[in-house]
Structure formats: C-alpha cells, structure tokens
C-alpha cells in the first residue's frame, strides 16, 4: 500500500477535525464529512489547513462559548466607547476579525446594528436636553444617508482586504483627529446664503447661556457628511468623529450641539446601510445578537458612570488600543491575509 503523506495520517485519526476545501464549500469537518458529490481539491492546489485569518483559537468554538466571548467583548467596548466618547463600534470589528477569525462582512453587519442601538438610545437623552438641532440634523441626513447607501453598495463589491486596510486607516484617523472641543468658535454673523435659506440656526439651551448660532460653510459641511456616510456604510461604523468634525470645524456649530446632533444622525445613517446589508446577507443573527446586546448594555452602564469617573487616562488607553488595532488591520490587509 502506498504510504499516505503525513497530513493524511493525522487526519485519519478518529475525531480529528481539519479544514477541508472542496469545489463547492469549505469548513471544519472530519475526514468523511465532505459528501461524495463534492470533489475535494488535491494537495497541489494548496496546503490543507485553515486559511490564516479564518481560524479559531482551539477547535471551532461552540455557539454558546462564542456568544459569551463576543458578548463580553462587546460589553467592554460599549462601556469604554461611551465613557471616552470615541464609540465602541470601532474596536468591535477589528477584534472580531483579528481575534476570532470572523469574516469581515459579518463583523461589519453586526457592528452597524449595534451602532443603531446605542445611537438611538443616546440620541433620546440628548434630544430631551435640547442640544440637538433637529433641522440641521435632518438636512445633513440627506447627505449621510445617500453616502451610506453608496458605501454599503461599495462594501459588497470591494475585496475584504481593501475594506480592512481602509478600516485601519480610519482607526488611525480617529486617534489623531479625535474631536476634543475646548475652544468656543461661534459665528452667529455667518452670511452663508444656504444657511439663511435653510434656517440652519438655533439657540443653545438656557443653562449654556442661550447663545444663538448659525451654520457657516454649509457646502463644505454637506460634502464632509457625504464622506462620513460612505465610511459608515463601507465599514459598519457610526463615523461620529467625522460628523462632529464636519459640524464643529467646517460649519462652526457649537461643540455640544455638534456632538448631540451627530449622535442623532448616526442612527439614521446606519439604518440606510443596514437595510442594504440585510438584503446582501451580512446580518447573521447568531453574531449580531451578542454584539448588539453587549454594546447596548455597555453603553447604558457607561452613561450611568460618566458623571462619576475621570476619563482622561481611560481615553489615552483606549486611543492606544485603537492605534494598535489600526496598524494590525492595515498590516493584515496589505499582507493579503484575508479571504477574497
């Protein structure tokens, strides 16, 4: 009898699970688990063994263990994200992809749904406090939803490696351009004709001195919002930092109004691409369930703790984590470690 190659001998042990690739599908299985109709690939077509990023720490996890792990990670991300104001979604996708070997498209879908949940919850509180400018939000949502639809359309066509690389660049951007908002830069004398025509103005709530404000450079802000929408749809994030940048820096809206209105818009932006993700099959209930519940719970706890904690150190720490994840995503994207 011809000696089998070493791989086969290990694979012949009862109960040994290995990664099999066939012409139709691939997945974890035992030696006989591919049905006869599916022709297995020969060794010359590539080594046996899982593709590099599609691996699990041990053997494949059970659904229960996986849900618990993902749920706890999401809880932590939601908590730290809401405490630092940097958003939890940005760390969920890289953690799922790099740490647990989840396909980036499932990860994007799950993250986006969690973004809708946290944004809607937080927006409700902000709207009641009176910082949110509903008219400004509605006008700019025209830009973000159109952009998000385009981004979701792109996500189905751009290879995952490219998405990962763009994601990494975005993470680096979040660290370096994270909105801080110390200086008050109001321009109530703005003469942008668009702002006048669209009445993009408002008054801060009485406890902030009831100062009036009016938007400047509406065209620039609108353009940046389209870009924010595209990023949101392509990467499954809220892209709140970019929205705040567009309002605070470009349109010279007071910082608190910018953050509140941005939070208000994130849910609608995400809903625009979520509908598309659903029909493209990106929303896996088994993954989205723990991510969404975890992030939501974390954000709720974070909102309770926010007034009692000093978040400076936490913020620096979180920025370091985001930086590392960003570099890792870019490296893995460029090194071609993602399945097509």
Residues numbered 96-125 forming contacts with other proteins, rule: CB under 8 A: 101-103, 105-106, 113, 116-117, 120-121, 123-125
| Closest to other proteins by CB, 115 or 175 | 115
Nearer to other proteins, 77 or 322 (CB): 77
CB-based contacts of 270: which residues, under 8 Å, 6+ apart?
Answer: 112, 113, 115, 116, 119, 148, 232, 238
Between residue 284 and residue 303, which ones bind other proteins under the rule CB under 8 A? 284-290, 292-293, 296
- Residue choice 283, 321, 322, 329 for contact with other proteins (CB under 8 A): 283
Interaction with other proteins in 225-264: which residues (CB under 8 A)? none
Residues 250 and 215: their CA atoms lie apart, in Å, by 9
Among 163, 164, 228, 270, binds other proteins (CB under 8 A): 270
Selection from 252, 268, 255 nearest residue 147 by Cα? 268
Cα–Cα–Cα angle for 125, 128, 130, rounded to 5 degrees:
115
Between the CA atoms of 145, 147, 152 and 157, what dihedral angle is there, to the nearest 10 degrees?
160
Site string for other proteins, 187-226 (x = CB under 8 A): -x---------xx-x-x------x-x-x------------
- DSSP one-letter code for 206: G
Contacts of 149 (CB under 8 A, 6+ apart): 229, 233, 272, 273, 276
Residues 69 to 88: which contact other proteins by CB under 8 A?
none
Determine how many CB atoms are found less than 10 A away from the CB of residue 88.
32
153-192 residues in contact with other proteins (CB under 8 A) are 160, 188
CB of 106 to other proteins, least distance (A): 5
Q: Shortest Cβ distance from residue 182 to other proteins (Å)? A: 25
Q: Among 167, 222, 282, 318, indicate the residue that binds other proteins (CB under 8 A).
A: 282
Contact 291, 92 (CB under 8 A): yes
- The one segment of 6-14, 57-65, 170-178, 320-328 that binds other proteins by CB under 8 A: 57-65
Q: Which stretch binds other proteins (CB under 8 A): 5-13, 35-43, 47-55, 306-314?
A: 47-55
Q: Which is nearer to other proteins, 266 or 321 (CB)?
A: 266
User: Which residue is listed with tokens 């749809």?
Assistant: 233
Of 278 and 316, the one with the shorter C-beta distance to other proteins is 278
Q: Which is nearer to other proteins, 76 or 280 (CB)?
A: 280
Question: Which of 158, 169, 280, 314 lies at the binding interface for other proteins (CB under 8 A)?
Answer: 280
d(CA 325, CA 89): 13
Let me know: does 114 contact 300? Beta carbons within 8 Å.
no
Q: Please tell me the distance from the alpha carbon of residue 127 to that of residue 134, in angstroms, as a whole number.
A: 8
């Amino acid at each position: 009898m011809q000696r089998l190659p070493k791989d086969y001998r290990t694979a012949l042990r009862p109960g040994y699970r290995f990664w099999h690739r066939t012409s139709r599908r691939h997945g974890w299985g035992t030696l006989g688990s591919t049905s006869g109709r599916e022709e297995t690939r020969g060794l010359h077509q590539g080594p046996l063994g899982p593709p590099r990023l599609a691996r699990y720490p041990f053997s494949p996890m059970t659904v229960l263990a996986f849900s618990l792990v993902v749920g706890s990670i999401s809880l932590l991300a939601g908590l730290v994200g809401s405490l630092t104001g940097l958003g939890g979604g940005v760390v969920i996708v890289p953690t799922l992809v790099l740490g647990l070997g989840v396909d980036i498209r499932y990860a994007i879908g799950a993250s986006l749904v969690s973004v809708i949940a946290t944004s809607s919850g937080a927006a409700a509180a902000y709207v009641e406090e009176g910082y949110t400018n509903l008219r400004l939000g509605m006008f700019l949502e025209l830009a973000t939803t159109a952009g998000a639809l385009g981004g979701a359309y792109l996500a189905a066509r751009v290879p995952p490696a490219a998405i990962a690389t763009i994601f990494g660049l975005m993470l680096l951007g979040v660290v370096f351009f994270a909105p801080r908002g110390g200086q008050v830069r109001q321009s109530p004398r703005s003469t942008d004709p668009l702002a006048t025509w669209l009445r993009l103005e408002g008054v801060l709530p009485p406890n902030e001195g009831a100062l009036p404000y009016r938007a400047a450079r509406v065209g620039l802000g609108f353009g940046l919002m389209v870009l924010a929408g595209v990023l949101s749809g392509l990467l499954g994030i809220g892209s709140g930092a970019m929205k705040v940048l567009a309002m605070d820096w470009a349109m010279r809206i007071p910082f608190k109004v910018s953050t509140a209105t941005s939070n208000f818009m994130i849910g609608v932006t995400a809903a625009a691409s979520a509908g598309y993700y659903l029909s493209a099959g990106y929303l896996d209930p088994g993954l989205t369930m723990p991510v969404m519940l975890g992030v939501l719970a974390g954000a709720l706890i974070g909102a309770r703790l926010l007034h009692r904690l000093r978040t400076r150190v936490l913020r620096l720490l979180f920025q370091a984590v985001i930086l590392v994840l960003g570099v890792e995503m870019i490296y893995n994207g460029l090194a071609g470690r993602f399945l097509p």
